[in-house]
Chain A
Amino acid sequence: MKHRFTGYLATSLLALTVALPVQAKDTVKIAYVGPLSGGNSALGIGGRNATDLAVKLANENPTSKYSYELVVVDDECKPNIGVQVVTKIATDRSIIGSVSNYCSAVAMATLDIYKKFNLPMIVWGAVLPDITYAQKISEIHRVNGTMIQPNMVAAEFMVKQGYKTWAILHDTTDYGKGHNRYFSEYLQKNGGKILGTFGVTADQQDFTAELTKVKELNPDVVYFGGLTPIGIRIRAQMEKLGIKAQFQGTSGIKSDSYIESLGKELAEGTLSLTEGVALERLPRGAAFSEAYAKHGYDQPFEAYGPFAFAAANLIIDAIEKVGPNRRKVNEELGKTKDADTVIGKVSFDDHGQNIIPLVTKYVVQDGKWVVWEDSEYGAGKRKLKGL
């Protein structure tokens, strides 16, 4: 018996000595939360791919202290599912940080879970101001802006173009209701008139009843606060009913899918005011697009991919600096100031909110989202509807 034990010990020791010199780096897990199925999955998959790219680039970098592993969960853009999957990642202590949430409703439902389990997270897409500002939770950060600034700029910009009357459609989630609230508020301050406001559900298929009412009200502009799938339906059904008004959306419809599904002609002239700066105008934008293309993802990174990429990089940088410890990483993230990222400089205020004052105006021109200032509309060569 003794003999056999010594033998075993010797073999183990031998194995250990052989293993030591080639020992791999410690693996650190980070999580990604977003909608991978359902109507908003195009944006969710774009964000997932961008996060995955950040992890791959960190792993390809020989100076990285750790090897990173991405844990991906699907919140389906539904708060109840979000609570389940976030609880799952929060209770897994090997996960150190999370790139979380495109859907504001899911973010709102899961804030307390991050707090309870001290899991530092960075929001990459949800724009409801309450996520960072309703309470002060040190675990919650956000790289993208809130819906306040774009609506402020949008109201002023549209009134300046000469539009006077609006009909507002919004989905009845926190996202749509928030947009309705801020846009209505700033529109009235700028002297615009709201003829009617219509709440619609996020999976509604038929909008003809609401839109016929809109036709009767005959506004200059139809404002839509909501996401791409129903944005497409509303725009298509507006055409069907012969509504001639200008169509104006929020960051929620600024996706390639909006144009693909509607076709060039119907999408032409649609406006979307989003937070942040256009990727092509940023110093690191080109490098990101190039790396994304090189890694061969099947789907585009969509509007919020760069934000997810920036969020993942901030988490990875913090882990590199202070080690894989939730509390330390959280403290480190809280100190973020003028960090250089793909979306420009990032600084968190005391609520973990990135203070990007920039808003970009986009218009669809010949089947592409073009920055207003670079567009023929901005140059005065083409006119928006009704002007």
Chain B
Amino acid sequence: MSLDIFSQYLINCLMLGMIYAMVAVGFTLFFGVLDIIQFSHGDVLMVGGFTALVTYAGAQALGVANPWLQLALMVLIATALTAGLGVLVARYLVLPLKNAPPLNTLLITLMMGMVLREGVRLAYPNGSNPQPFPRLLPGGVWSVGGFEARIDSTILLLVGLALITGLHLLITRSKLGLAIRAVAQDGETARIMGINFNWIVLLTFGIGSGMAALGGVMNGLYYTEINFGVGLLLGVIGFAAAILGGLGNLYGAILGGFLFAALQTVGAVVLPMLSQHIPSSYKDVFAFAVVIALIAWRPTGLIAEKSTERA
């Protein structure tokens, strides 16, 4: 395998991992504060992507022609609206069910995902088919030695890294982050300490959903296409990645995301090289099977939560 082909595989894998990690981070944040699984999270990402698309159309109609300005508008509006959607889901679907069996929350968010998915499909013109996503980042290729990468993919990777680092700093270094961690550790005690529990939950959902919107925009820019079903598989994989890393742990989610992407790439590329009888279509079989084995080996995830006193 030549170096340019290898670099292509590497970029594909990192990019896929980045998008998985951004979804997984949301799952892990929500589980952290409320111990619930927000199953429509993948579809929230899809809504983020479509909001950006609508914003783009609006910007075009208003005569905004500068691609960077268009992109800035898309990111701002998609993040704000999708964060708002996350807050609404938390306020009206998740918080009222706080004391109900967790199965109810799981079901209600699962159904919410269906509502979002089918809603976008029906409401968006020709929504059943993939929609073209504008190419706003510079194309072209840079190379060092034989190592090649597209400029747009590189920008997306760097932005993704910056976002995840930013989120990490927010959680570990800021007062808000301290409050989120306090609620995650023990909601009751946090409340006694004067932390507004509901506010923190709503904010966490806003942050996680905003991240998903950014993931949706990145996904659109990377694939130059978005479709109503994109969130379904991303949701499943993001959830698996979060569990794999250790639900409730930020680093775990990131690790899980990249690990899952690596497994899929290995399944699609390395396995067919080893044996002719394993075609690349077995990549998901391989990736999920390894995840099952890993979860069986470390039931609390690769990076287990430090505080496991919950009862």
Least distance between B275 CB and chain A CB atoms (Å):
15
Whether a CB of chain A sits under 8 angstroms from the CB of B166 is: no
Interface string of A146-170 (1 = CB under 8 A from B): 0000000000000000000000000
Least distance between A217 CB and chain B CB atoms (Å):
10
Contact of A38 among B8, B128, B230 (CB under 8 A): B128
Residues A209 and B9 in contact, CB atoms below 8 Å apart: yes
Query: Once bound together, how far apart are the Cα atoms of A242 and B5, in whole Å?
Result: 11
Residues B280 and A212 in contact, CB atoms below 8 Å apart: no
Whether a CB of chain A sits under 8 angstroms from the CB of B41 is: no
Query: Once bound together, how far apart are the Cα atoms of A262 and B269, in whole Å?
Result: 27
Query: Once bound together, how far apart are the Cα atoms of A216 and B7, in whole Å?
Result: 12
Residues B8 and A212 in contact, CB atoms below 8 Å apart: yes
Q: A197-B279, A209-B268 are in contact. Are A260 and B129 (CB under 8 A)?
A: yes
Contact of A199 among B9, B13, B230, B281 (CB under 8 A): B281
Residues B229 and A203 in contact, CB atoms below 8 Å apart: yes
State which of B66-74, B168-176, B219-227, B239-247 sits at the interface with chain A. Answer: B219-227
Residues B225 and A232 in contact, CB atoms below 8 Å apart: yes
Whether a CB of chain B sits under 8 angstroms from the CB of A144 is: no
Residues B223 and A172 in contact, CB atoms below 8 Å apart: no
Query: Once bound together, how far apart are the Cα atoms of A203 and B128, in whole Å?
Result: 13
Residues B128 and A41 in contact, CB atoms below 8 Å apart: yes
Least distance between A218 CB and chain B CB atoms (Å):
10
Q: Which residues of B contact A237 (CB under 8 A)?
A: 223
Interface string of A234-272 (1 = CB under 8 A from B): 001101111000000000000001001111000000000
Contact of A205 among B2, B131, B230 (CB under 8 A): B230
Whether a CB of chain B sits under 8 angstroms from the CB of A200 is: yes
Query: Once bound together, how far apart are the Cα atoms of A192 and B303, in whole Å?
Result: 52
Q: Which residues of A contact B128 (CB under 8 A)?
A: 37-42, 45, 257
17 A-B residue pairings within 8 Å (CB atoms): A39-B128, A41-B128, A204-B233, A205-B234, A208-B16, A209-B9, A209-B12, A216-B2, A229-B227, A232-B130, A233-B130, A236-B132, A240-B223, A240-B224, A257-B126, A260-B126, A261-B130
> Interface on B for A, CB 8 Å cutoff?
1-2, 5, 8-9, 12-13, 15-16, 118, 121, 126, 128-132, 141, 150, 222-225, 227, 229-230, 232-234, 264-265, 268-269, 272, 279-281, 283-284
